[in-house]
Amino acid sequence: MQRRFAASVLLLASALALSGAAKPRPKAPARPPAVAAQVQWDRKVTVTPEGHHILGNPNAPIRLVEFVSYSCPHCGIFEMQGGEELVRDFIRPGTASFEVRPFLRNELDLAASLLASCGPPARFFAHNSALLGQQDKWLRNPTRAQALRWSDPDRLNRLHAMAEDLALYDFMKPSGLSRQQLDQCLADEAEADRLQHHTDEAMERLNVTGTPTFLLNGAQTPENTWPGLRPRLQALLGGFT
């Protein structure tokens, strides 16, 4: 009797073991598919082989180029009227890129352009927007004494005098660049020559005679104000949606 009972217990244990082994293990919950990080195009800055800065998607279907003079009031008005809207509606979504090409109308433009490109490329558009959008804080006609300083035979002395007299050193402080770094940028002869070369090229090859002048997908536009340019950008945008 005891042997039969023991045998029964063994058979029951074996059956339970087989039953437990046969049960499928619960599957782990499926992981949700990874979501690709959205590109922040309004923070994407690239530099062309010619040394110009592009904000946004460099492969965007809409390509806007501005020839800009930092001493040009109309360029400042364009920045104040359309700078934020251009970024918000066209650059941030990745549908447009914005390239800035400094155009030297005078030596003050050279000083400001050298300061705008000072530091890492990622800082350029912040410098560009500040110099244009806040011209009232630094742009003014020189006094007679300042005009004499600005006519020094040495170009570097002239650029230093302009930066000092117009308080551009103080104006650039929010960028985190030191006075020494700014002076190094003002002394960059190769960059100064590059800026002058591309200004001459724009006049000779593209017939750029004033600022601001815009190229839209490679063709010069007759409009040079934000109210005039915005409908053209919007029309192009409509063709891609």
CB 212 within 8 A of CB 78: yes
Q: Is residue 21 part of a domain?
A: no
Q: Is residue 5 part of a domain?
A: no
Q: How many domains does the chain have?
A: 1
102 Cβ partners below 8 Å, 6+ apart? Answer: 67, 68, 69, 70, 109, 113, 116, 117, 195, 198, 199
Q: Is residue 175 part of a domain?
A: yes
Positive/negative CA dihedral, 106, 219, 191, 197: negative
Q: Is residue 114 part of a domain?
A: yes
What confidence score (pLDDT) does residue 20 get?
Answer: 43
What confidence score (pLDDT) does residue 38 get?
Answer: 78
Q: Is residue 166 part of a domain?
A: yes
What confidence score (pLDDT) does residue 151 get?
Answer: 97
Residue-range definition of the domain harbouring residue 121: 41-238
CATH of the domain at 160: 3.40.30.10
Tell me the pLDDT tens digit for each residue of 19-72. 444 445 555 555 544 434 578 999 999 999 999 999 999 999 999 999 999 999
Tell me the pLDDT tens digit for each residue of 156-185. 999 999 999 999 999 999 999 999 999 999
CB 181 within 8 A of CB 119: yes
Tell me the pLDDT tens digit for each residue of 179-190. 999 999 999 999
* % the chain with pLDDT above 70: 83
